[in-house]
Amino acid sequence: MPHAVRQFWLLTLFAALSAGCGGSAPPAADRGVSAAPGVRHPVVVRTPLGPPGVPTGTFDEKGRPVTVACATCHTTKPANADAKLGTPLIQFHQGLVGKHGILSCTSCHNPADGYASLRLADGKGVPYSQVMTLCAQCHGPQYRDYQHGAHGGMTGHWDLSQGGRSRLNCIDCHDSHTPKYPTVSPAPGPNDRFQTGGGHE
Amino acid sequence: MSERKKLSLPVLGEVDRRTAVKAGAATLGLAAWAAAIRPWFEWTAELNADEVLQKHYRELTPEQLQVILNKLTDEARKQSGKPAVVKDHKPIPGVSFAYALNLSICIGCRKCAEACHVENNHDRPSHQSYIRVFEMQKGGIDFEKGNATYDHPVPAKDKYYMPVQCQQCENPPCVKACPIEATWQESDGIVVVDYNWCIGCRYCEAACPYHARRFNWEKPQIPANEINPNQSYLSNRVRPQGVMEKCTFCLHRTREGKLPACLEACPTGARVFGNVLDPDSEIRWVLENKRVFVLKEELGTKPRFYYFFDK
């Protein structure tokens, strides 16, 4: 995607975050430049690298999976428009588990340009780097919380006058095909007298 | 009645009773004095006059404090083998910290407790941490039914998870309980402990309704290469034995503008931290737009740690 577009995206998000717009404020893109005084370090939202490759099932001489662009097949071979997430596919995309509402592949993947981009509900294409715009169509409350710093992991500074901040995007934590956060094994618990019934705290 | 036999103690021969009592008292006195001055004979490199005679943190002049910081820095470097520094982070004017935690998002992975353990140079054998994550039954907030030692994949069915750490109360019972003012609240709301002043009576631990304070039963044991070299006098420097410790909202980080370690470690983004006096801050948005609550509100401790659910 063009670098300038990505920068604009980051800037608008940054503007929304640093201005901390209220619940009734217009979306980030309409707010323009932040009016915050003094030096404000940037809030950088991680962006996905680009269109994902589809594993072919073969491996190169170093043992890495060989992937191909979607268009490699889909320029000549039409996608199965009836395929829903959760329907096992018999060719390619194997092992892809989908559990994301009633969405089908083309709900998000854009057939207009050989699946090299995503598409919004109104048919407009958006690059993969703007995946959050796509997610936000259905997950408005989460996107609102995200814009106000109340959803999503981050590292860096709470005080932007002293340093910047790095934020994760939706698909850093949520697998877009099975977005429910996975079950994990917890880190070890405390080893004190209140919990183990003996010894020192 | 002319010749009265002169009394004497059998073992002492001709010594009279009065002299024997005097000698006994003198011996006891000498022994007590020897015990009293014993610490002076056990003088080691770890002790020095500045430490023994150190004043309360808030009564130290900048020069005196610097001497102590230099000494602690030397110790930390020796202990860790790294270029560690023990600084003194002062509260930032115009900043009052608050923390919020989204219970709808928290999955109970204990990553925050683990990050705290590492960041704050906690004792490794006891796996100490300022954060305790309770696995709670959905439908109420009943800590009696909570379990902090769960060990199974999370989140479990019908459970929610509630990390509890120091609530940095505006009306802190622990501070009132301390008989020697070794713990107090700073202007940014963080309740701190002067580890060099604390006598380890543990009254504050008993006074805290959140069990947020921990006692160093032993000198914290940490492998040298795992010691966090960025230390602060009131925060994460390796504590001496026999003193209380507590969460300081990572003041060695947050007073430099950084986010606390537990927030950065949270993989789900359940934690929100910031300056509550800044109307544009994330924490203010949460407090103004979410239905936040505090733990044990009826006690009047006025925590600055808030919890909320999304739905």
Q: pLDDT per residue over B59-108, tens digit each?
A: 999 999 999 999 999 999 999 999 999 999 999 999 999 999 999 999 99
Q: Do A162 and B215 make contact, defined as CB atoms within 8 angstroms?
A: no
* Within-domain flag for B77: no
Buried residues in B232-256 as b, exposed as e (16+ CB within 10 A): bbbbbbbbbebbbbbbbbbbbbbbb
* Within-domain flag for B254: yes
- Residue in chain B nearest A200 by alpha carbon: B217
pLDDT (average), residues B230-244 = 95
End-to-end CA distance of chain B: 104
Candidates B152, B280, B281, B308, partner chain A, best to mutate (most A CBs within 10 A): B280
Does residue B172 sit in the same domain as residue B231?
yes
Does residue B111 sit in the same domain as residue B21?
no
% residues pLDDT > 70 (chain A): 72
Helical H runs in A66-168?
70-74, 105-108, 131-136, 140-147
Does residue A87 sit in the same domain as residue A141?
no
Nearest-CA distance A77 → chain B (Å) = 39
Q: In the structure, what pLDDT confidence band is assigned to residue A200 with cuts at 50, 70 and 90?
A: very low
* Within-domain flag for A201: no
- Using an 8 Å CB-CB cutoff, list chain B residues near A168: 269
- Residue B227's pLDDT is 95
pLDDT (average), residues B137-160 = 92
* Within-domain flag for B223: yes
Q: CATH no. for residue B104? A: 3.30.70.20
Q: Give contacts of A 124-143 with B, CB under 8 A.
A: 141
- Using an 8 Å CB-CB cutoff, list chain B residues near A17: 282
Q: In the structure, what pLDDT confidence band is assigned to residue A79 with cuts at 50, 70 and 90?
A: confident
- Residue B38's pLDDT is 83
Backbone angles phi, psi at A34, to 5 degrees: -65, 140
Residue A141, domain extent: 3-48+129-173
**B149 close to A195: Cβ distance less than 8 angstroms:** yes
User: Average pLDDT, whole number, for chain A?
Assistant: 77
Candidates B106, B110, B247, partner chain A, best to mutate (most A CBs within 10 A): B110
User: Average pLDDT, whole number, for chain B?
Assistant: 92
pTM: 0.80
Among candidate residues B265, B257, B292, the one with its CA nearest the CA of residue B97: B257
* pLDDT at B8 > cutoff 50: yes
- Using an 8 Å CB-CB cutoff, list chain B residues near A173: 267-269
Does residue A65 sit in the same domain as residue A110?
yes
% residues pLDDT > 90 (chain A): 34
- Using an 8 Å CB-CB cutoff, list chain A residues near B290: 150
Does residue B103 sit in the same domain as residue B30?
no
Helices A3-19 and A140-147 meet at what angle, rounded to 10?
Answer: 80
Calpha distance A181→B102 (Å, rounded) = 15
Does residue A136 sit in the same domain as residue A122?
no
- What tokens does A184 get? 């994990």
Provide the domain count of chain B: 2
Does residue A64 sit in the same domain as residue A97?
yes
A123 touches chain B (CB under 8 A): no
* Within-domain flag for B65: no
pLDDT (average), residues A162-170 = 94
Does residue B202 sit in the same domain as residue B311?
yes
* Within-domain flag for B80: no
Q: Do B269 and A162 make contact, defined as CB atoms within 8 angstroms?
A: no
Task: Fill in the amino acid letter for B167.
Answer: Q
pLDDT in tens, A109-153: 888 887 888 999 999 999 999 999 999 999 999 999 999 999 999
Does residue A168 sit in the same domain as residue A69?
no
Does residue A121 sit in the same domain as residue A134?
no
- What tokens does B222 get? 């940490």
Does residue A75 sit in the same domain as residue A122?
yes
* Within-domain flag for A188: no
Among candidate residues A5, A35, A21, the one with its CA nearest the CA of residue A149: A21
Does residue A68 sit in the same domain as residue A119?
yes
* Within-domain flag for A186: no
Q: In the structure, what pLDDT confidence band is assigned to residue B254 with cuts at 50, 70 and 90?
A: very high
CA distances from B6 to A143, A189, B19 (A): 103, 76, 14
Does residue A135 sit in the same domain as residue A117?
no
Does residue A151 sit in the same domain as residue A164?
yes
- Using an 8 Å CB-CB cutoff, list chain B residues near A165: 259
- Residue A198's pLDDT is 45
* Within-domain flag for A178: no
Calpha distance A152→B282 (Å, rounded) = 12
pLDDT (average), residues B238-256 = 96
Does residue B104 sit in the same domain as residue B31?
no
Does residue B168 sit in the same domain as residue B35?
no
Provide the domain count of chain A: 2
* Within-domain flag for A74: yes
Residue B28, domain extent: 12-42
* Within-domain flag for A20: yes
- Residue A51's pLDDT is 81
* Within-domain flag for B232: yes
* Within-domain flag for A195: no
Does residue B94 sit in the same domain as residue B241?
yes
* Within-domain flag for B108: yes
**B294 close to B102: Cβ distance less than 8 angstroms:** no
The dihedral region occupied by A144, where left means phi > 0, alpha psi between -120 and 50, and beta the remainder, is: alpha
Does residue A21 sit in the same domain as residue A61?
no
Does residue B108 sit in the same domain as residue B25?
no
Pairing of strands B183-185, B191-193: antiparallel
* pLDDT at A193 > cutoff 90: no
Calpha distance B46→B25 (Å, rounded) = 36
pLDDT (average), residues B181-185 = 96
Residues 6+ positions from B215 with CB-CB distance below 8 Å: A201, B200, B202, B205, B242, B243, B244, B245
Residue with tokens 């006692």: B215
Calpha distance A115→B143 (Å, rounded) = 51
* Within-domain flag for B109: yes
pLDDT in tens, B272-295: 999 999 999 999 999 999 999 999
- Residue in chain B nearest A34 by alpha carbon: B280
Among candidate residues B195, B269, B308, the one with its CA nearest the CA of residue A170: B269
Among candidate residues B272, B52, B292, B39, the one with its CA nearest the CA of residue A147: B272
Does residue A151 sit in the same domain as residue A136?
yes
- Residue A115's pLDDT is 84
